[in-house]
Amino acid sequence: MSTISRNDFLLSLASKDKNNFDSYIKHLHPIDVALYLERSTDEELDTFIKFTDVNYRARILEQASIDMQIRFLEVLEYEEIVDLFALMSNDDVADTLGNLPIHKRKALLNEMKASETQTIETLLGYSEDSAGGIMTTEFIALKKNLNVKDALLKIKEIGPKTEVIELIFVIDEEQKLFGTVDLRDIFVAEDKVLLEELTNIHVVTVYPETDQEKVSLLVSKYDLKAIPVINKQRALLGIITVDDIIDVIVQEHTEDMLRLAGVRGQDLENRSVFSSVQRRLPWLMINLGTAFLAAFTVTLFESVIAQVVALASSMSIVTGMGGNAGNQSLSVVVRGIALGELDFKKSWSLVFREMLVGITQGAIIGVLAGIILYLKVGNIMFGVIIFMAMVMNMLIATSFGFLIPLIIKRFNFDPALGSSIFLTASTDIFGFFIFLSLAKLFLPYLT
């Protein structure tokens, strides 16, 4: 698609070359144009606005990032913005408004027609991460007593304004969701057949306050093209389409992965060193605390280490292996929770299985470590001690790695949030303690 490079595109703006610009955007997808504009100067953005009509600008604004939207709207007059909004779908307008400072948002809502602001204000009321926050109000809802012929006429009329056309939502006399009809079934039915006869009434629905992650799990589990959002009275409020769900899934994955490593935020596009440090430092600080706790554990055994210095080098093998084994359990569980396969209530008892995994791994790794250490130090007791410590620390690693995310989730926090820090704190502290305690116990055999 994007055969025109960002440099060429921005150059046409910088040099105010309208001919080149026009020929370029003909070959560029609006999403690429929006991406290219991210790197534009304010002057280039000005030129872009001069070169394009309000229709094209609306398409670009819908695709732009939050930062870009704000820059875009700073350049335009209020009236121009209102014209632009009139060409965008309500949910995109609400998203854009939601990112503006409150005074600007209010001023713009005042400028807009009352008929338009009502839906937008309702949409603005939902949390960004909820079904209400990501739903669109552009969909086709037809009465269940409509016949196929009239339904097709309606679909042809409303279709171009909606996001999904393959799935038609059917409502009853009281505007309540009755079910969905597949457009294919309407196509093959006789003219006189009523929609209610074609309707699938077993429809998966969500409420506006449902968390977007839950919505994405339902859509992906049931391979849905769109999912209706209803209120407690089953009135149809909006729909969420599968392409918006893809954005949710990608965003939630990024969050999970970064949080697990203790990085705040989800936006990867941070250019300043300062903002990177800001996003990573908080968890490193907490980690410094746990690192000193682990170090303190070692301090308790300084007299033992003073007598057998070889303990200093081998103790980190026990903690290092524990940390890694625990992280394996952790990532399996965090992923399982994200996929909706695990939760505290139904899964806590699986911890016994996980403990067995830890003991088995600990025994295998422990025997190997024991043999190597025996050959290196020439003292069989050294090997026995690292074997025992390895089994116990791996048992702690896998069971803590399994339970920590489930417990964090149980208290309605993100299971990825900091679980890795708590885990390595446990495996370090217990690892040092167990290994050095055993060394102290068997000290006569080590010296």
Write out the binding residues for a copy of itself, residues 249-268 only, by CB under 8 A: 249-250, 253-254, 256-258, 260-263, 268
Q: Does 434 bind a copy of itself (CB under 8 A)?
A: no
Q: Whole-angstrom Cα distance, residue 138 to residue 164?
A: 9
- Separation CA 172–CA 148 (nearest Å): 16
Please pick, from the candidates 54, 75, 235, 312, the single residue that binds a copy of itself as defined by CB under 8 A.
312
Residues 85-114 that bind a copy of itself (CB under 8 A): none
- Residue whose C-alpha is closest to residue 392's, from 436, 422, 348, 349: 436
Among 164, 168, 206, 388, binds a copy of itself (CB under 8 A): 164
Q: What minimum distance in Å lies between the beta carbon of 398 and a copy of itself?
A: 9
- The verdict on 428 binding a copy of itself (CB under 8 A) reads yes
Q: Cβ of 89: how many Cβ atoms within 10 Å?
A: 17
**Residue 102: is it exposed, middle or buried by C-beta count within 10 angstroms (0-12/13-18/19+)?**
exposed
- The yes or no reply on residue 4 touching a copy of itself (CB under 8 A) is no
Site for a copy of itself in 121-160 (CB under 8 A): 155-156, 159-160
Which range, of 13-21, 81-89, 97-105, 288-296, touches a copy of itself by CB under 8 A? 288-296
Among 100, 108, 334, 396, binds a copy of itself (CB under 8 A): 334
Task: Judge contact between 154 and 140, C-beta under 8 A.
Answer: yes
At its nearest, how many Å lie between a copy of itself and the CB of residue 273? 5
Q: Which of 61, 64, 168, 219 binds a copy of itself (CB under 8 A)?
A: 219
Which residue of 66, 75, 86, 281 would you call a contact of a copy of itself, by CB under 8 A?
281
Q: What DSSP character marks residue 206?
A: B
> Least distance (Å) from a copy of itself to the CB of residue 133?
18
Q: How far is residue 246 from each of residues 16, 130, 440, measured CA to CA in Å? A: 37, 15, 56
Provide the b/e sequence for 431-446 (b: ≥16 CB within 10 Å).
Answer: bbbbbbbbbbeeeeeb
For residue 444, state whether it binds a copy of itself (rule: CB under 8 A).
no
Cβ atoms of 147 and 189 within 8 Å: the answer is no
Report angle CA 193, 195, 197 to the nearest 5 degrees.
70
Identify which of 425, 417, 427 has the alpha carbon closest to the alpha carbon of residue 263: 417
**Rg of the chain in Å (alpha carbons):** 30
Angle at 127 between CA 36 and CA 166, to 5 degrees: 70
Per rule CB under 8 A, is residue 375 in the interface with a copy of itself?
no
Comparing CB distances to a copy of itself, the nearer of 122 and 251 is 251
228 bridge partner residues: 239
Report yes or no: 427 and 327 within 8 Å, Cβ to Cβ.
no
- Using CB under 8 A as the binding rule, whether residue 1 contacts a copy of itself is answered as yes
Considering the complex, what minimum distance in angstroms separates the CB of residue 103 from a copy of itself?
A: 32
Coil, helix or strand for 118?
A: helix
Stretch that binds a copy of itself, among 42-50, 170-178, 366-374, 407-415 (CB under 8 A): 366-374
Residues 39-78 within binding reach of a copy of itself (CB under 8 A):
none
Residues 290-309 that bind a copy of itself (CB under 8 A): 291-292, 294-299, 302, 305-306, 309
In the list 13, 321, 395, 417, the residue contacting a copy of itself (rule: CB under 8 A) is 321
Q: Is 246 in the site for a copy of itself (CB under 8 A)?
A: yes
Instruction: Choose, by CB under 8 A, the member of 53, 103, 114, 273 that binds a copy of itself.
Output: 273
**Per CB under 8 A, which region of 75-83, 115-123, 128-136, 358-366 contacts a copy of itself?**
358-366
